[in-house]
């Protein structure tokens, strides 16, 4: 399998315990996507009672679609790290800043 290696901000903490990728407050997806142009929700959120078995991976932010965020440059997150949690009754990037 061909692999890509590049730098991206890490998801340093996730408090959305109902997500399949969350194990011990860590996101273990390969990468997540944030936003829908206006809202900094976590598009990668997957509600499940079973959680991923692969916990060696730490998620990075692969794409950010929230144009107004100060960390967004060309639809990529430029923050050093992010946190994900609940806000406005949905999963949000808590690092989002206008």
Mean pLDDT calculated for residue range 66-94: 95
pTM above 0.85, yes or no: yes
Whole-number average pLDDT of the chain: 94
Residue 5 has pLDDT above 90, yes or no: no
Q: Give the pLDDT confidence score for residue 88 in this predicted structure.
A: 83
Q: Which of 34, 23, 84, 86 minimizes the C-alpha distance to 57?
A: 23
Does residue 3 form part of some domain? no
Expressed as residue numbers, the domain containing 72 is 10-93
Q: Give the pLDDT confidence score for residue 76 in this predicted structure.
A: 94
Q: Give the pLDDT confidence score for residue 73 in this predicted structure.
A: 95
Q: Count Cα neighbours of 94 within 13 Å in the Cβ-side half-sphere.
A: 13
Does residue 1 form part of some domain? no
In the chain, how many domains are there? 1
Residue 29 has pLDDT above 90, yes or no: yes
Does residue 98 form part of some domain? no
């Amino acid at each position: 399998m061909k692999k890509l290696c590049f730098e991206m901000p890490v998801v340093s903490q996730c408090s959305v315990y109902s997500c399949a990728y969350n194990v011990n407050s860590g996101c273990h997806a390969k990468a997540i996507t944030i936003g829908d142009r206006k809202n900094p929700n976590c598009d990668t959120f997957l509600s499940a009672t079973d959680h991923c078995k692969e916990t060696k991976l730490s998620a990075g932010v692969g794409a950010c679609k929230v144009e107004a965020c100060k960390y967004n440059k060309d639809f990529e997150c430029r923050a050093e790290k992010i946190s994900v949690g609940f806000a406005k009754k949905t999963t949000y990037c808590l690092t989002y800043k206008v």
